[in-house]
């Protein structure tokens, strides 16, 4: 009887643990849902959500596309449709072909005959279909049909500038943030500084994150909920690559300010080479006291945290800072780091220098969000960028090298002259200036005309 009782107790413990796990999973799934979503959500509306970001519907987003972008989209969709057509129209005779037959949903519109169509028929029909759309409205109508058939994920994204203007881009799942930035450089005619970034904002959580250049933009945008108010911005972020321009801040952080300022460029280059150029990345040996927000409460308690390559650890109460006593706070695999805004008022944080760690799919307040607060801006910059180094590793260094290569010396000189020319205007106002083939210095000093008309005669009073 005793073994049976012990086995039953073990099974009860396992059942209890499994029930608790199910409850946690259900809680997490509920936190990922937005208010107003129902199981009977309209499938057409859900499909449109997967194609456009920042618009009310897909039709509106297609109307915002420039003509050349819309033509490029149509050509891409037509080429994919032509590439898939032989697989659906060619019969599998004799069963000698090992390729899997197309599903029934793709064959329902094909004629039920074993004979191939007359030669040139499909090509002529396709050419006629390509010639049919002449107006933009016709192109949009055909694009809507083709997008629903396309297997590759594409998004029409509205990218906002700080002056309220916007650019509309077509982005597919293969394109990295670096490629999208290059496209925006061409559309806005701005300089190609390494500080330019794509940022996402979440007004409900009051957070912002700068996308890393190696990320594929479609992936994080696809995590947004259906009725999301999130936005994508094209903005300069000077601290984007501060770990390479001022590496002493992260790898010599224990030294005083005077010693850090005395570091010359040669020493900085050596620090970058030692920590990023070797076979393994060296993560800053960062530790210190941060304020942790307790779950479900507006209470912040100081904890001693330690940064490691795998995640952030903390020293439990009554324990030492030895590695054996450290407890894991969070791992970096499935979380992103976000900057916060006005959390001193929203959550009664000790300061406004806070950052958030969460899964990208969590788009509203949840107990699975981690909030940390720093004493000052210097500590915030130190922790946020050190976490980026630990999470992304050498990919950050490759991003920086690609950005530096894009920002060529010629473009840098043109940018400086352009900024001097447009002094007194906001940086965003200079984004829409026309792009010229000559250097900016030549554009600025235009010679006067050969003929200058005389001033009008003075008006005589009667």
Q: What is d(CA 186, CA 310) in angstroms, rounded to the nearest whole number?
A: 38
Q: How confident is the model at residue 417 (pLDDT cuts 50, 70, 90)?
A: low
Return the axis-axis angle of helices 377-392 and 394-406, rounded to nearest 10°.
100
346 burial via Cβ count (<10 Å: 0-12, 13-18, 19+): middle
Predicted local distance difference test score (pLDDT) of residue 322: 82
Choose from 45-49, 75-79, 157-161 the range with maximum mean pLDDT.
157-161
Predicted local distance difference test score (pLDDT) of residue 80: 56
65-79, 287-301, 395-409: least confident range: 65-79
Predicted local distance difference test score (pLDDT) of residue 324: 84
Choose from 54-58, 98-102, 457-461 the range with maximum mean pLDDT.
54-58
Predicted local distance difference test score (pLDDT) of residue 337: 97
pLDDT(186) > 80: yes
Predicted local distance difference test score (pLDDT) of residue 414: 55
| Strand stretches in 12-106, DSSP E | 52-53
Asked if residues 226 and 46 have their Cβ atoms less than 8 Å apart, the reply is yes
Q: How confident is the model at residue 90 (pLDDT cuts 50, 70, 90)?
A: very low
**Residue 83: which residues within 8 A CB-CB, separation 6 or more?**
none
Predicted local distance difference test score (pLDDT) of residue 227: 84
Dihedral angle over CA of 354, 357, 363, 368, nearest 10: -110
Average pLDDT of every residue of the chain:
74
Closest by CA to 290, choosing from 271, 304, 280, 277, is 304
Q: Are strands 327-331 and 336-340 parallel, antiparallel or unpaired?
A: unpaired
pLDDT(449) > 50: no
Closest by CA to 284, choosing from 401, 400, 384, is 384
Dihedral angle over CA of 360, 366, 367, 372, nearest 10: 60
pLDDT in tens, 307-363: 999 999 999 988 888 888 899 999 998 899 999 999 999 999 999 999 999 999 999
Predicted local distance difference test score (pLDDT) of residue 4: 52
Asked if residues 133 and 142 have their Cβ atoms less than 8 Å apart, the reply is yes
Question: Which residues sit opposite 339 in a β-bridge?
Answer: 208, 355
Predicted local distance difference test score (pLDDT) of residue 442: 39
10 burial via Cβ count (<10 Å: 0-12, 13-18, 19+): exposed
Six-digit token string for 397: 């260094």
Choose from 13-22, 33-42, 111-120 the range with maximum mean pLDDT.
13-22
Question: Which residues sit opposite 293 in a β-bridge?
Answer: 300
| SS3 state at 130 | helix
pLDDT(107) > 60: no
Neighbours of 378 (CB within 10 A): 13
Question: Which residues sit opposite 357 in a β-bridge?
Answer: 337, 370
Q: Are strands 354-358 and 336-340 parallel, antiparallel or unpaired?
A: antiparallel
Dihedral angle over CA of 219, 223, 228, 231, nearest 10: -30
Closest by CA to 243, choosing from 373, 352, 391, 355, is 391
356, containing H or E segment: strand 354-358
Six-digit token string for 304: 């001693």
100-109, 246-255, 450-459: least confident range: 100-109
């Amino acid at each position: 009887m005793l073994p049976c009782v012990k086995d039953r107790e073990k099974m009860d413990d396992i059942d209890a643990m499994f029930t608790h796990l199910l409850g946690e999973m259900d809680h997490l799934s509920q936190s990922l849902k937005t208010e107003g979503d129902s199981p009977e959500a309209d499938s057409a509306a859900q499909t449109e959500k997967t194609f456009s970001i920042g618009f009310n519907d897909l039709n509106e987003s297609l109307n915002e596309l420039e003509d050349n972008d819309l033509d490029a989209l149509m050509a891409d969709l037509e080429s994919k449709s032509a590439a898939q057509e032989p697989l659906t129209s060619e019969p599998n005779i004799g069963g000698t072909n090992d390729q899997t037959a197309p599903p029934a949903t793709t064959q329902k519109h094909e004629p039920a005959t074993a004979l191939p169509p007359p030669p040139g028929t499909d090509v002529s029909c396709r050419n006629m279909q390509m010639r049919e759309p002449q107006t933009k409205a016709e192109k949009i109508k055909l694009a809507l049909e083709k997008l629903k058939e396309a297997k590759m994920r594409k998004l029409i994204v509205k990218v906002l500038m700080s002056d309220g203007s916007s650019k509309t881009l077509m982005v597919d799942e293969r394109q990295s943030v670096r490629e999208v930035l290059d496209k925006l450089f061409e559309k806005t005619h701005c300089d190609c500084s390494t500080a330019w970034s794509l940022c996402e904002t979440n007004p409900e959580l009051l957070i912002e994150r700068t996308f890393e250049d190696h990320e594929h933009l479609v992936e994080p945008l696809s995590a947004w909920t259906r009725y999301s108010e999130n936005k994508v911005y094209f903005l300069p972020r000077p601290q984007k690559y501060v770990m390479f321009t001022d590496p002493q801040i992260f790898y010599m952080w224990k030294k005083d300010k005077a010693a850090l300022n005395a570091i010359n460029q040669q020493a900085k280059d050596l620090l970058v080479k030692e920590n990023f150029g070797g076979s393994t990345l060296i993560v800053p040996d960062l530790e210190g006291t941060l304020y942790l927000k307790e779950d479900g409460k507006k209470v912040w308690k100081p904890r001693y945290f330690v940064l490691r390559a795998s995640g952030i650890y903390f020293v439990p109460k009554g324990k030492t800072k030895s590695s054996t006593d450290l407890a894991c706070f969070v791992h970096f695999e499935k979380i992103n780091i976000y900057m916060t805004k006005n959390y001193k008022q929203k959550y009664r944080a000790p300061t406004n220098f806070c950052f958030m760690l969460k899964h990208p799919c969590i788009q509203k307040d949840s107990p699975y969000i981690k909030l940390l607060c720093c004493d000052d801006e210097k500590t915030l910059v130190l922790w946020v960028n050190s976490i980026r180094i630990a999470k992304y590793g050498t990919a950050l260094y490759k991003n920086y090298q690609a950005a530096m290569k894009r920002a060529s010396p010629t473009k840098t000189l043109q940018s400086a002259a352009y900024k001097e020319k447009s002094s007194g205007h906001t940086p965003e106002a200079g984004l829409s200036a026309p792009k010229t083939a000559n250097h900016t210095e030549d554009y600025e000093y235009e010679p006067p005309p050969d003929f200058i008309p005389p001033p009008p005669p003075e008006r005589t009073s009667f």
